[in-house]
Every structure is written in C-alpha cells, then in structure tokens.
A and B are shown apart, each in its own frame.
Chain A
C-alpha cells in the first residue's frame, strides 16, 4: 500500500538554527500539507500546497516557515530560525484531490523536532 514517508524521524536542533523536514508524498497525489502537534495538544494545520504554490496557510505559518517541492517527489518544510516553541511533531500529508468525504488525507509518520 502506498504511504507518505518522512525523514528524519527525530531531529534535535539548537535554538536559532535552520531545519529542513522532508516528506515524500504518495506518488499520484496532487495536494500536500504540513501539520504540527505540540505534545499533549491538538493537531494544527500549517500550510497546504498545490500546483507548486501555497494554497492555504494558517497564522502559525509565519515568515520563519517556507515550503518547497524541489524535485517532483520531495516536499519540504523549512524553519529558518528555530524557537523553543517550535518543538513538536510535524506531520506531512497528501491527498489525491481536495479533501472531502471520499478523498482522504494520508498522513506520514511524523518528524519529532526538539529545539534546545
């Protein structure tokens, strides 16, 4: 069964450093997403991406964040200057079409980001 993959599974970084989280969405999917989940909190939407551009973003997704699909298979989330409060699990997701009943978003296993 096709699946979304993410690397690394765990990333430890120092405050102020840049990190890049990588995702490989399911190959025939056209819509890509990043969510985050701070420990003990709910899953929160960050950004969606379609046709090589951002289609929606939340207020969490400020100038410190950027996304890219550099090579047609990878989908990356960059945090330019990490803060302690960026520590969270980051989930990548993809869907074949705009998500609604009948069109599921498939989630990757997540990257746990720890900022020290």
Chain B
C-alpha cells in the first residue's frame, strides 16, 4: 500500500469554482501534514501546514481527519494562477523527512 495516496486528476475547473482534493496516508503514526504546490518542472513550495483543528489561509482551507487518515484541501474562488500540482506531504513519527504523494493536478480555465 502506498504511503500517501492522491487522485492524480487532472481536475479541470472554471475560474471562480470551488475544488477539493483529498489525500490518504497509511502510517497511523504520521505526525505532521502539509500541502505543497508544484508548478511544472519547478521545485515544491509549501502552500500550508495542516493543523489538527483544521486551518484556513485566504481561499485555502485544510482539514485533517486522523481517525480516517485523510487530509483535504479546499480551494475557493479558483484563479488561473492556481493551476499547478498539489502535493500532499506527511512526516512520520520519529523522522524528520517529508513523504510526498504523487500529487493532484489542477487546471483552472477562463
């Protein structure tokens, strides 16, 4: 079973739409969770950390469900510039390194 699983997409949405991505992780000892954004052939960049109580940053909302071992990212009022691959990332207990999912591609069209 893959450690971090994501629907690869692509998700094609019009500008202004709301879109949600889910991610599941297999290691119940995972302790920290993040969403990264990766543009084509570029480095991953931190979008937001995911807190246990859920958190919001502008148009972006992240949720964590430890019991079901999944993380979600909601993007409201999509912009053309949101087009990218969104990477779900976890840190496993006892380690300091990032475990990446393969990513979900988002394409926002005019």
Which A positions have Cβ atoms within 8 angstroms of B?
Answer: 31, 33, 35, 41-45, 48, 55-56, 89, 91, 98-102, 104-105, 107-110, 112
Contact = CB atoms under 8 A, between A and B. Distances in A.
B15 to A, nearest CB: 27
Contact of A105 (B33, B51, B98): B98
Given A100-B32, A101-B51, A102-B49, A43 B44 contact: yes
A27 B43 CA distance: 19
A56 B43 contact: no
A101 B49 contact: yes
A66 B12 CA distance: 42
The 10 closest A-B pairs by CB, nearest first: A107-B43, A43-B100, A42-B102, A101-B49, A98-B96, A45-B97, A100-B32, A42-B100, A104-B46, A101-B32
24 contacts: A33-B97, A35-B98, A42-B101, A43-B44, A43-B98, A43-B100, A44-B100, A45-B97, A45-B98, A45-B99, A55-B96, A56-B97, A99-B91, A99-B96, A100-B31, A100-B91, A101-B32, A101-B33, A101-B50, A107-B43, A107-B44, A107-B45, A110-B43, A112-B41
Nearest to A6: B43
Contacts, number: 56
A46 to B, nearest CB: 9
Contacts of B42: 109-110
Contacts of A99: 32, 91, 96-98
A35 B43 CA distance: 10
A98 B98 CA distance: 11
Interface string B2-39: 00000000000000000000000000000111100010
B43 A108 contact: yes
Contacts of A108: 43
Nearest to B52: A101
Given A99-B91, A100-B32, A89 B99 contact: no
